Amino acid sequence: TQLKLAGIVLGIVAVLCILYSHRAAGQSSKALQGILYLACVWVGYALIDVLLKYTTGLGLQFAVTLNLMFICAFVLSVGYILLHEKTIGNVRNISAGLILGALNFANIALYVKAHMLLKDSPALVFASMNILVVVFGVISGLLFFKEKLKTSTTLGLIFAVLSVLCLAYAMTV
């Protein structure tokens, strides 16, 4: 519908505003490299989203599947660290990693649950979730890393909130 399209367009504008706010003058040589990394992240997100959607469609038990995914990720991560590093890490880094992992687990659990509940609207789930990830990323940057709120970042946050509201309202109409 037009409301969903407006929500997606507002979401894209929000992301572009937030990206623009981090652009520094005189860094055009790094811009291409940044775009390449950003494209890789987006391809990775798309691949993960498709695989999660596929997994929910298999009819497997939700809790078992999600736990197996995280156990595999943990084993691969520890294996990588053991092969490439001399130590596992210190208590501070391990604690931060466990907290981040728990938040990521909750994010993915809610994401998969949303796909299960909204089987007919995968694009809506995908767009809403990723726009909110950007919003919470900006808020985290402000709170934890003391980033300054620029005009384009503020506009991006406003557009992101409007985007999610449009997408949510489109479901009720």
pLDDT at 28: 60
Q: Write down the pTM of the prediction.
A: 0.60
Local structure of residue 58 (DSSP, 8 states): T
- Residue tagged 């767009």 (tokens): 127
Q: In order along the chain (173 residues), what is the average pLDDT of each group of 10 residues?
A: 84 80 60 74 78 72 78 86 81 88 85 80 76 81 84 85 84 75
HSE (side-chain half, CA atoms, 13 Å) at 81: 12
pLDDT at 30: 67
Domain boundaries, the chain: 2-172
Residue 147, phi-psi category: left (phi > 0), alpha (psi -120 to 50), beta (remainder): beta
Tokens of 71: 């156990």
pLDDT at 80: 85
pLDDT at 78: 84
Alpha-carbon distance of 11 to 131, in angstroms, equals: 6
Alpha-carbon distance of 20 to 14, in angstroms, equals: 10
pLDDT tens digits for 80-122?
Answer: 888 888 777 788 988 988 898 888 888 888 887 887 788 777 7
pLDDT at 27: 57
